[in-house]
Amino acid sequence: MSETELLYEARDGVGWITLNRPQARNALTFAMYDRLAGICREPGDVRCLVVTGAGEKAFAAGTDMTQFRGFSTDQDALDYEHRIDTVLSAVEACPIPTIAAISGACTGGGAGIAAACDIRIATADLRFGFPIARTLGNCLSIANLSRLSALMGAGRVKDVIFTARLVGAEEAKAVGLISDIVADHPALIARAAELATTLTGHAPITLRTTKEALRRLRTEGASASDRDLVLAAYMSEDFKEGLEAFLGKRKPQWSGR
């Protein structure tokens, strides 16, 4: 992978990931997927990640289709879906909050990445979906469908995939897929920065344990164990700091410990 195809910059406690192939509508190579997963697994000394695409036309138009030309065996197909599941699982399980800042088209693997993020904001020209029924004729894994169904409902996921239509911004907000609609790309980046600043100022352990609890709820159901999460929060230095700050009518100083 060229180092310029996925850009990463940390500033003011926020990590900015830019999918940077605007000439290909930011379609992802396998190396880009792997680099994204690596950053999400080990985000370093930041408290929030923002994922966005270069330019105004697309967040990401999915996987670079030229990579499918070499597929010839059963294992090629299974390995590909396993790779995508591994990447999306890494995004979802990232220990810090993730924001997908979406401009224009967000399809295929790009839509899968956005769905795995915690919060999604988009420009008014959003087009979100998986038009594979009229393009490649492939399918999504059960893990990917499960994540999408939790966001949009199984009925809408069927509708979107079966009809190969793309969801617009107003519909996406109405069903809870995105939380904000902004006018254009500059407004998108400004809103993402504002939102990231808000998140970096909140208790990291509260955000981390909430993320993990919701992931377990989706994958394991309501009987999933939360003992470790409850103890991680209530036995933390931050909980003690938060309590004393609240009682002392001052702003808490979160350490993440």
Asked if 232 contacts 203 with a C-beta cutoff of 8 angstroms, the reply is no
Question: In the chain, what percentage of residues exceed pLDDT 70?
Answer: 99
Tell me what pLDDT residue 65 has: 85
Tell me what pLDDT residue 71 has: 87
* pLDDT band per the 50, 70, 90 thresholds, residue 7: very high
* pLDDT band per the 50, 70, 90 thresholds, residue 66: confident
Q: pLDDT (tens digit, 9 = 90+) per residue, 165-213?
A: 999 999 999 999 999 999 999 999 999 999 999 999 999 999 999 999 9
Asked if 28 contacts 62 with a C-beta cutoff of 8 angstroms, the reply is yes
**Mutual angle of helices 142-152 and 74-92, in 10-degree steps:** 40
Q: Which helix (H) or strand (E) holds 129?
A: strand 127-129
**pTM for this structure?**
0.95
Alpha-carbon distance of 50 to 27, in angstroms, equals 18
Pairing of strands 48-53, 180-182: unpaired
Tell me what pLDDT residue 69 has: 83
- Using alpha carbons, list the distances in angstroms from residue 243 to 229, 247, 250: 18, 6, 10
18-27, 66-75, 115-124: lowest mean pLDDT where? 66-75
- Using alpha carbons, list the distances in angstroms from residue 62 to 25, 33, 181: 9, 10, 22
* pLDDT band per the 50, 70, 90 thresholds, residue 68: confident
Tell me what pLDDT residue 3 has: 76
Q: Average of pLDDT values for 12-22? A: 97
Q: pLDDT (tens digit, 9 = 90+) per residue, 114-168?
A: 999 999 999 999 999 999 999 999 999 999 999 999 999 999 999 999 999 999 9
Q: Share the mean pLDDT of the chain.
A: 95
* pLDDT band per the 50, 70, 90 thresholds, residue 221: very high
